Structures are given as C-alpha cells and as structure tokens.
C-alpha cells in the first residue's frame, strides 16, 4: 500500500482525468464496434446478425484475445512482448510431443512450456536489464525455431484427444468453450489489474519505475511476473487453438503478436506504460474479430482487408489522441 500511496498523490488531478479519458476511449471503440455491426447488418443482413456468427466471431477472437490480455499487463509496465505468437507455437508443440500421455499431459506441457518461455523473457528483462523489445525479439526466433526443430517441421495430429478437442470446439450452455475461456481470462485480468494491490503495482512500475521502487514495490518481481503471466496465456491460447485445429502446428500463431499488440493499443493501453485497460483490450480484440468476420463474409480480397484493418488501427489511435 506504500506504493499506491507514493504513486497516487504524485499527480492528483491525473487520476480522475485518466478515468475520464479511458471512458472516452472505451466509448469511441464501442462506437466503432457498433458501427461495424450496423454496417454488417446492412450489408449482409441475417448472415451476419445471427447467434451462430456471433459465436464464430468470439471463438476466432479467443486465441489472440487471451494473448492480448497478458500483453496488456506487459504494456502497462512499459514493456512489450514480440514473442507471444512463437511461444504459442512452441507451447503447442511441447504439448503435442507429450500428446501420447493424454489430454492432461498435453495441457500441462503446453501451459508449462508457455510459462517457462515467458519467465525466461521476464528474467532477462527484470534481472538482465535488457530492453524488452530485444529480449522478446530473440525469444520470437528461438521459440519458433525450437517449435520447428522439436516437431521436425511437421504438424502433430491430436484429433484423438477428446478433452482437448472439446476445449477448442466444444460448447457449454450453447456458448463455445473458447469464448468462455476468453471471458474468464478477461474477468480475471480485469480483477487483478483493477482490484488488487498487484495490479496497482503493475501500473505503478510502468508509470514511474523509480517512484515505485522508492514506494516499496519489488519492481523486478513485478516485471518477471507479467512476462510469465503472458507466457501462461500463450500456453492457454495454444491449447485452445490446437483443440480447434485438431493438430499442433509449429507454424501456428504467426504474427499473432502484432494482432495482440494492435488490439491492446487501440483499446487504449498506452505503449509508454502506466495506463492499462483490460476492457479496452477486449473491445480491441472484438473489433478486429468483427472486421475479419465481416470482410470475409463480404468475400473481400485480402489486400482490401489489410488496408481496412490498418485504417481502423490508425483511426482508433487518432481518436484517442484527440481525447488526450
């Protein structure tokens, strides 16, 4: 609580100001989402506006969404993780290698491998004092290389693992399991960030590291933990994606890191650190998922999709700057 006291009074006005800005951003992004949904309804009618399609869209958002929630914590500390997509593939292959041991062996191995890779990032950042960009760039290639090496560049089929398949393709109460998991992770992320002392420490580390240290925050531990958490998220994502795909692929998760970072940033979390919103991140992820879904429903060519996506990223950030 020392830390919170040390940080909070630093800029007394900024706190309420920040909350207000965050509201504007969430509002702007929700507006974008609503506009997209309306556009979808007009252009594609009930092919777009139906429960099945909603389920598919949220399922698609799940893999990147879970990565993005972990990423929110890292970016809140002023860091970045470029390795999440590769770590996802590494975790999937680690699980696939042990798939002979059954569903639990797969899931345990994937979660463990993801966490280990994330923790390695965290140790290098927190104790090695290497810039996160470089650490995770190195991990990006190491994890991808390890995944390709371990799998001999071949996907590992896991179709017979029924629990795993259920994770990716099953439903509970008419809602796809990946959607539940995304929701759960988002809820946990929100509670940790907004309702716990640890969450305040994370933001404090990103907002002013020295002040946090003086205030008694164990900065290195916090840094290590956010990377490890994100690694765990990558392991979880790997489990869901592999379940959906019925196969552990060493080339899965390519460029997911960029999608995750983009979602976090358009959600309103500041790349400079010290300001984070899990709700914004989820909105950001859903925005991308809806764009992808809608443009694919419209059978728009990939180049048009890329341009539209880029414009929306830019526009969202522009709106935020206006707000600030």
Residues that bind another protein (CB under 8 A): 44, 47, 52-53, 56, 59-60, 144, 148, 152-155, 157, 168-169, 241, 244-247, 249, 251-254, 292-293, 296-297, 299, 301-303
What is the smallest separation between the CB atom of 302 and another protein, expressed in angstroms? 4
* CB nearer another protein, residue 5 or residue 154: 154
What the block records as the tokens of 102 is 């059954």
Q: How far is Cα 205 from Cα 193, in angstroms, rounded to an integer?
A: 13
Whole-Å CA distances, 96 to 93, 110, 231: 5, 8, 17
What is the smallest separation between the CB atom of 125 and another protein, expressed in angstroms? 26
What is the smallest separation between the CB atom of 252 and another protein, expressed in angstroms? 4
What is the smallest separation between the CB atom of 31 and another protein, expressed in angstroms? 23
What is the smallest separation between the CB atom of 104 and another protein, expressed in angstroms? 22
Residue 18: phi and psi, rounded to 5, are -60, -45
Closest CA to 77 of 188, 204, 179: 204
Whether 143 contacts 121, CB under 8 Å: no
Question: What are the b/e assignments for 111-142, b being 16+ CB within 10 Å?
Answer: bbbbbbbbbbbbbbbbeeeeebeebbbbbbeb
Whether 41 contacts 49, CB under 8 Å: yes
Q: How far is Cα 164 from Cα 37, in angstroms, rounded to an integer?
A: 32
* CB nearer another protein, residue 209 or residue 244: 244
What is the smallest separation between the CB atom of 21 and another protein, expressed in angstroms? 33
Write out the DSSP string of 200-244. Answer: HHHHHHHH-HHHHHHTT--HHHHHHHHHHHHHHHHHHHHHHHHHH
């Amino acid at each position: 609580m020392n830390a919170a006291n040390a940080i909070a009074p630093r800029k007394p006005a900024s706190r309420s100001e920040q909350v207000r800005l965050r509201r504007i951003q969430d509002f702007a992004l929700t507006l974008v989402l609503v506009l997209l949904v309306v556009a979808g309804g007009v252009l594609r009618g009930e092919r777009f506006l139906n429960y099945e399609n909603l389920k598919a869209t949220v399922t698609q958002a799940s893999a990147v969404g879970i990565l993005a929630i972990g990423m929110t914590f890292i970016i809140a500390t002023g860091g970045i993780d470029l390795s999440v997509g590769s770590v996802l593939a590494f975790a999937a292959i680690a699980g696939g290698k042990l798939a002979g041991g059954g569903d639990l062996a797969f899931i345990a191995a994937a979660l463990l491998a993801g966490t280990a890779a994330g923790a390695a990032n965290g140790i290098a950042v927190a104790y090695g004092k290497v810039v996160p960009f470089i650490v995770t760039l190195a991990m990006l290639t190491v994890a991808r290389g390890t995944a390709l090496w371990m799998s001999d560049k071949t996907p590992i089929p896991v179709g017979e693992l029924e629990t795993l398949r259920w994770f990716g393709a099953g439903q509970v109460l008419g809602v796809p399991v990946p959607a539940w998991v995304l929701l759960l992770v988002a809820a946990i992320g929100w509670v940790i960030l907004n309702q716990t002392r640890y969450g305040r420490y994370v933001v404090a580390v990103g907002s002013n590291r020295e002040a946090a240290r003086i205030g008694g925050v164990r900065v290195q531990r916090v840094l290590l933990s956010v990377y490890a958490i994100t690694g765990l998220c990558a392991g979880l994502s790997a489990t869901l994606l592999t379940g959906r795909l019925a196969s552990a692929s060493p080339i899965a998760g390519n460029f997911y890191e960029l999608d995750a970072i983009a979602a976090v940033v358009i959600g309103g979390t500041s790349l400079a650190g010290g300001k984070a919103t899990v709700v914004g991140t989820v909105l950001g992820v859903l925005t991308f998922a809806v764009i992808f879904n809608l443009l694919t429903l419209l059978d728009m060519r990939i180049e048009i999709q890329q341009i539209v996506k880029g414009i929306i990223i830019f526009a969202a950030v522009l709106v935020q700057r206006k707000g600030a």
